[in-house]
Structure 1
Amino acid sequence: MAVGVTARTAFSLLFPPILDEFGWERGVTAGAFSFGFLVSAALSPFVGRLMDTRGPRVVIELGVGLLAAGSMLATLVREPWHLYLTLGVLAGVGSNCLGYGGQALYLPNWFVRRRGLAMSIAYAGAGAGSIVLLPWLQTVIAHAGWRAACWNLGLVVLVVLAPLNLLLRHRPEDLGLAPDGNRTSRDDSGEHRPATHVVDAAWVAIDWTLGRAVRTARFWWIGVGYFLGLFAWYAVQVHQTKYLVEIGFSATDAARALGLVSLVAVPGQIGLGHLSDRIGREWVWMIGNVGFALCFVLLLWLRHAPTPALLHLMVVSQGTLGYGLVSVLGAIPAEIFQGRHYGTILGTLMLGAIAGGAAGPWVTGAIHDATGSYTLAFWIGIGGSALSAVAIWLAAPRRVRAVAGRGR
């Protein structure tokens, strides 16, 4: 997570120097990021199926190879389609295998009672990695250019992740364990210890396949919620650095703000993940969307009052609250569709999430190109965040399985 997700986040740092070198329109340039997401979305069901049949070692190592290749081949970019192929398709698909979506395909198998906390700790690695890697990459860009940054990033992916991910396992049963690290799923009395509080026994008893899942309203509400949530997330992430520079902040301050978002995201994700085990997944998803809506409002306000105080408030709202979405990204569908085919179901749901991540940067850039301003795009992000929260409430994982804090 620390390397794989940060490698994708780095597009925000590469965006300004690529624009400066080639003079392409922002919609065209940001479109490479979006196009990579679209290809990732199309491949997500295949990745989910591959996870169900072959496990994380195959999926993650595939991601390592693609991400490293995309980053290193980006040094040869001369035309827009080169950018779309390298930092778009190769790096995008690779990062999807390594990042939030890829990890969510198997981590829920390992944890039940504190699923939200466990997944948020794992996802917080992305923030920890950004704290180290983003300032380093900005330094490389400043002294040697964006191409050198891409090459060095590819090397880091290969050296760090290729050997590390060979240690992964798909399910605890592969090691003779039960979820939550137990040697057995029975307690000291020999009775089965329920790890979750089932609310809808009839729903839980169903052997959920993809075909059955797509015929439910819950499946589609999750898809809508994920699309809109990641639309807002990546609209901010890709355009934030360039926007801050335009309204008067230095390139260094803008890059530092992106790094600070990742820094404050670490305690935010862990705290909200733990909170989701107490109050429910819907509440935390709503809190994350409130964070992004507030972030957009503060970005609009910063144009009129570009002060450090407002900048830091924007960072906190985005990182501490907004990034908390990932702490329940895998937990929400796991509560509803847990079973043998969970990877395939989540992989298909990630079509919506990744499509949102693709649409956010592209729509935001296209609106700026058409209007000369980010104002309309940011208001769209605010509305999308509100609707995303509503969609997950309608999916209602709380009505299938109650989290530990609600089951007492």
Structure 2
Amino acid sequence: MNSTRGSKKFFYGWIVIAITFAALLVSSGIRSMPSILIEPLENEFGWSRSGISSVVSVGIFLYGLTGPFSAAFLLKYGIRRTIVYALAALAASILVTPLMTSLWQFELLWGLLGGIATGLMANVLGITVTNLWFVKHRGLVLGMLTASAATGQLLFLPLLAKITVDSGWRTAMYASAGFIVALLVIVALWMRNRPSDVGAAPYGADRIEPPTPFKGNIFLAPLQTLGEAVRHPTFWLLAGTFFFCGYSTNGLIGTHLIAACGDFGISEVVAASFLALMGLFDLVGTTASGWLSDRFDSRWLLFWYYGLRGLSLVFLPYALHLGYTEMTIFTVFYGLDWIATVPPTVKLSSNAFGKEKAGMVFGWIVVAHQIGASVAAYGAGAMREWFGSYTVPFVSAGFVCFFASVMAVRVAKERSFAQAMKA
């Protein structure tokens, strides 16, 4: 691989993108595992659904809160070192999980340690890698990396659900740890921090850019960036729409769809396959969204994405009642829109706050996303206990998506961003 240095025929950044894709894929696949564990843990330990949902809620929140600080870690310590540390922590939490006997231990391993470890490999990682390695086709590359989160479900959930049903949830844990260790070795050997490490310029650039040393404290810099961002309405509108995005995706569907299917006699493996099919179609939808964000007004892309997602969620309770055909229709329609909102939101935040701060600003926007997801993860479980079904959380999520679509078009036009920052 060293022979590719400086070669005009091959850009090493594609290897970096492939490794980053794999890291995001594994992280998202592991992050989605609690949706498979809800019923097995209920049956084995007698824990309540709201109690298990609270662990998922804490993990989702910390996954998001870690994002802005992850951006600072990536810039200060480098991409390779940060990912290696995150994978090692995640492997440790998974290997100890089969030994747990109490809910507080599950909270510590998956809520705290798992949330922070996966948070270091969240969407901020994709943004940082894209900005460092690419000038041309940034939207498309970011779309591919964002889609890896859905692809993680595509690959992991059906497999892990099958292992859980056939051999138990502990065996599924050990299998997951094996994937993580293999990826850790790949990252340690072949990951590179920036183009200058291999004597190359960013893709689409004319010259090699020397590394810019990170300035400031890795804990204070994200807070200072947040202090600057909150003064602008664009930040609040993007954070608000992303709150509703998280509420209507990984917090709700990603956490509770398998359990909701179980209420209608749909097996875990089949329900996990629905999530996997969503992942397949989101791989297409989110990659296409990155391509579209390079060409069209991102505000109106978000308007349509949130509006169509809202329609699909209102339809979901009927699909569960009607059967497999209707659930497949929902799965395909919803899957195309699962996280297609990320590339337009990243573009709007980058235009608003600049390339240098894009990672940390978007990290804070993701915090809002994960707060929304955290609320849905716990709230949907609690409402299931109160009302006896998931109809209320599903339909309410649909209506908040309609509200998010209206918020999106109120974001300032891109040509006014630079002026707004100077004001």
TM norm structure 1? 0.85
Q: Identity over aligned residues, as a percent?
A: 26
Letter in 1 for 2:392: L
Partner of 1:390: 406
Measured in 2, the distance between the counterparts of 1:288 and 1:10 equals 26
The yes-or-no answer on 1:225 pairing with 2:241 is yes
Give the letter aligned to residue 280 of structure 1. D
1:297 is displaced (CA, Å) by 1.9
Aligned partner of 2:349 in structure 1 is 333
Q: Which of the numbers 289, 294, 317 marks the counterpart of 1:272?
A: 289
Q: CA RMSD in A?
A: 2.6
Letter in 1 for 2:99: L
Q: What are the equivalent positions in structure 2 for 1:314-333 lying under 5 Å apart?
A: 314-333=330-349
Q: 1 CA distance for matches of 2:413 and 2:184? A: 34
How far, CA to CA, are the matches of 1:386 and 1:399 in structure 2?
Answer: 26
For 2:63 and 2:282, the matched residues in 1 are separated by: 24
Q: CA deviation at 1:244?
A: 1.0
Contact 2:36 2:268 in 1 (8 A): no
Question: What is residue 116 of structure 1 aligned with on the other side?
Answer: 139
Distance (whole Å) between structure 2 residues aligned to residue 120 and residue 397 of structure 1: 22
Separation in structure 1 between the aligned mates of residue 54 and residue 253 of structure 2, nearest angstrom: 14
Equivalent position of 1:66 in the other structure: 89
Counterpart in the other structure of 1:399: 415
Superposition deviation, residue 177 in structure 1: 4.5
Please state how far the C-alpha of 1:80 moved relative to its aligned partner: 1.2
Q: Quote the residue 1:405 is aligned against.
A: none
Q: Cα–Cα, structure 1 residues 94 and 152, in superposed 2: closer, same or farther, change >3 Å? A: same
- 2:316 alignment counterpart: 299
CA distance in 2, matches of 1:87, 1:377: 24
Is the CA contact 1:9–1:237 (under 8 Å) kept in the aligned structure 2?
yes
Q: Does 1:155 align with 2:178?
A: yes
How far the C-alpha of 1:311 sits from its partner, in A, is: 0.8
Q: Contact 1:333/1:397 (CA < 8 Å) preserved in 2?
A: no
Specify which of 2, 7, 10 is matched with residue 33 of structure 2: 10
Alpha-carbon distance in structure 1 between the residues aligned to 2:298 and 2:196: 26
| Residue aligned with 1:341, SS | helix
1:20 to 12, 18, 43: 43
Matched to 1:379, the amino acid is V
**Number of residue pairs matched?**
380
Pair 1:270–1:45, CA change in 2 (3 A): closer
Cα 1:58–1:397 change in 2 (3 A) is farther
Deviations, residues 9-29 of structure 1 (Å, cap 9, x unaligned) = 222222222222223221211
Whole-angstrom CA distance in 2 between matches of 1:331 and 1:244: 36
Say if 1:394 and 1:56 are closer, same or farther in 2 by CA, change over 3 A. farther
Residue in 2 that maps onto 1:258: 275
- How big is each residue's C-alpha offset from its partner over 1:162-189, in whole Å with a ceiling of 9 and x where there is no partner? 432664445445555444343439xxxx
After TM superposition, the structure 1 = structure 2 runs for residues 95-134 of structure 1, keeping only pairs within 5 Å, are: 95-134=118-157
Q: For residue 399 of structure 1, report the CA deviation from its aligned partner.
A: 3.5
C-alpha displacement of 1:240: 0.2
- Match in the other structure for 2:160: 137
Q: How far apart are 1:113 and its partner, in Å?
A: 4.2
**How far apart in 2 are the matches of 1:167 and 1:330?**
27
What is the DSSP-based 3-state SS (H/G/I as helix, E as strand, rest coil) of the residue aligned with 2:410? helix
Cα 1:30–1:153, aligned 2, differ >3 Å: closer, same or farther?
A: same
Inter-partner Cα distance in structure 1 for 2:173 and 2:130: 29
Q: Are the counterparts in 2 of residues 296 and 382 from structure 1 also a CA contact under 8 Å?
A: yes
Structure 2 Cα separation of the partners of residues 129 and 279 of structure 1 = 28
Q: What is the CA-CA distance between 1:397 and the residue it aligns to?
A: 5.7
Measure the CA separation in 1 of the matches of 2:259 and 2:225.
43
Q: Which residue of 1 aligns with 2:231?
A: 215
Equivalent residue for 1:191? none
Distance between the aligned counterparts of 1:21 and 1:14, measured in 2?
A: 10
- Give the counterpart letter for 2:25 in structure 1: A
CA contact (8 A) 2:302 2:408 kept: yes
Q: 1:157 deviation in Å?
A: 0.9
SS of residue matched to 2:266: coil
Q: Measure the CA separation in 2 of the matches of 1:146 and 1:280.
A: 45
Distance in 2 (alpha carbons) for counterparts of 1:390 and 1:167? 44
- Matched residue SS, 2:294: helix
2:302 to 281, 285, 290: 285
Q: How many angstroms apart in 2 are the aligned matches of 1:25 and 1:100? A: 31
Contact 1:290 1:385 in 2 (8 A): yes
Query: Equivalent of 2:74, from 35, 41, 51?
Result: 51
In the alignment, residue 396 of structure 1 is paired with which amino acid? A
Structure 2 residue 54 is matched with structure 1 residue 37: no
The letter for the 1-side match of 2:117 is: G
Q: How far apart are the structure 1 equivalents of 2:76 and 2:131?
A: 16
Alpha-carbon offset, residue 390 of structure 1: 2.8
2:265 is equivalent to residue 248 of structure 1? yes
The one-letter amino acid of 1:347's match is G
Q: Distance in 2 between matches of 1:225 and 1:26?
A: 28
Give the whole-Å Cα distance in 2 for the aligned partners of 1:328 and 1:354. 18
Counterparts of 1:363 and 1:105 in 2: how far apart (Å)? Answer: 32
1:281–1:26 Cα change, 3 Å: same
Q: C-alpha separation between the residues in 1 aligned to 2:196 and 2:358?
A: 16
Change (3 A) 1:381 1:165: farther
Give the partner amino acid of 1:83.
F
